[in-house]
Amino acid sequence: MSVITVGTMAFDAIETPFGKVEKIVGGSGTYVAYAASNFVKPVQQISIVGYDFPTAEMEELKGRGVELEGVEIVSGKKSFFCSGKYHIDMNTRDTLVTDLNVLADFNPVVPESYQGAEFLMLGNLMPKLQMSVIDQLRVRPKLIVMDTMNFWMETALDELKAVLQKVDVLLVNDGEARQLSGEFSLVKAARTILKMGPRFLIIKKGEHGALLFHDDHVFFAPALPLEDVFDPTGAGDTFAGGFIGHLAKTRDISFENMKTAIIVGSALASFCVEKFGPQRMKEINKDDIAARLSEFVQLVNFDIDLV
């Protein structure tokens, strides 16, 4: 029940209304790995870092069952760096600086030991790199989940569409679903996107929860109402990691189990935003997760007598 995850391991500088950090560990692959490793071992990471990525962080990940054989370390360059500033609503972020550094040369190589993984999580990356990973796998995984972003819709739409043909689940936010489909209504957007390849579509709406579409079915998972969203960085990736982690743990890719997986992903994401960067993800244990899941049950559970 191994999971291959592909994504960035990087540094972030973040400013939110609650504070500011100059340089902390981040990257989609990092968040996915922290989240998924609560449920499944090994998490087989594919990424690229520079000489400056902390050894301690690597050790921490290894200690959680994350294999790093697929993480290339480039000795002469710095890790990918991104800085951003969130506004009070925490749904909009201004990207201030993007230093690709090692990411400019990223050419993911799937280690031989990763072959045969049943689950593949393609973090948000250049579509042709996502495709390259799919192509390198000799046996198609049972489930391929793909994240992407508006930038690739603007700069690499054809390649993005080619990857869409190969995946089972697409994860995007509401704005990206609208952009990709050309439809404002999310129901119509989902119908259009489900014709592009993926059998399942998850539309993330930040503090407003997430929707799962499949055939004519729709499921809604709320976000937990929080006192404060301290730092939303990595929440989407953490959601993805919790989602695929639960699916890999249970080895059940039915629509019913995907609903549960989305609740699990939402629960993990609700921890992520409580502190800067992945800090909170390192602190929580199985009991914390179970307690949070129980809050989600309370949050949406109701009795109705359908006469």
Query: Which one-letter amino acid corresponds to residue 103?
Result: L
Of 111 and 209, which CB lies nearer to a copy of itself in the complex structure? 209
Using only C-alpha atoms, the chain has a radius of gyration, in whole angstroms, of 18
Sheet holding 217-221, edge to edge: 66-73, 43-49, 3-6, 119-122, 143-147, 169-173, 200-204, 210-214, 217-221
- Tell me if 58 contacts a copy of itself by CB under 8 A: no
Report 241-300 residues binding a copy of itself (CB under 8 A): 256, 259-260, 262-264, 286, 290, 293-294, 296-300
Question: Nearest distance from residue 301's CB to a copy of itself, in Å?
Answer: 8
Strands 169-173 and 200-204: parallel
The residue from 54, 92, 184, 283 that contacts a copy of itself (CB under 8 A) is 184
Residues 203-242 binding a copy of itself (CB under 8 A) are 205, 208-209, 211, 217-222, 225-228
Using the minimum distance from each CB to a copy of itself, give the nearer residue, 149 or 219.
Answer: 219
Q: Which is nearer to a copy of itself, 166 or 259 (CB)?
A: 259
Q: How many alpha carbons lie under 13 Å from residue 160 in its C-beta half-sphere?
A: 23
For a copy of itself, the closer of residues 105 and 295 by Cβ is 295
DSSP for 138-185 reads SS--SEEEEE--HHHHHH-HHHHHHHHTT-SEEEEEHHHHHHHHT-SS
Question: Which one-letter amino acid corresponds to residue 263?
Answer: I
State how far the Cα of 293 lies from the Cα of 297, in Å rounded to an integer. Answer: 6
Q: Which is nearer to a copy of itself, 129 or 240 (CB)?
A: 240
Position among 188, 274, 275, 279 found at the interface with a copy of itself (CB under 8 A): 188
Question: Does 56 engage in binding with a copy of itself (CB under 8 A)?
Answer: no
* Euclidean distance between CA atoms 8 and 30, whole angstroms: 7
Q: How many residues bind a copy of itself (CB under 8 A)?
A: 42
Binding site for a copy of itself (CB under 8 A): 88-89, 184-188, 205, 208-209, 211, 217-222, 225-228, 256, 259-260, 262-264, 286, 290, 293-294, 296-304, 306-307
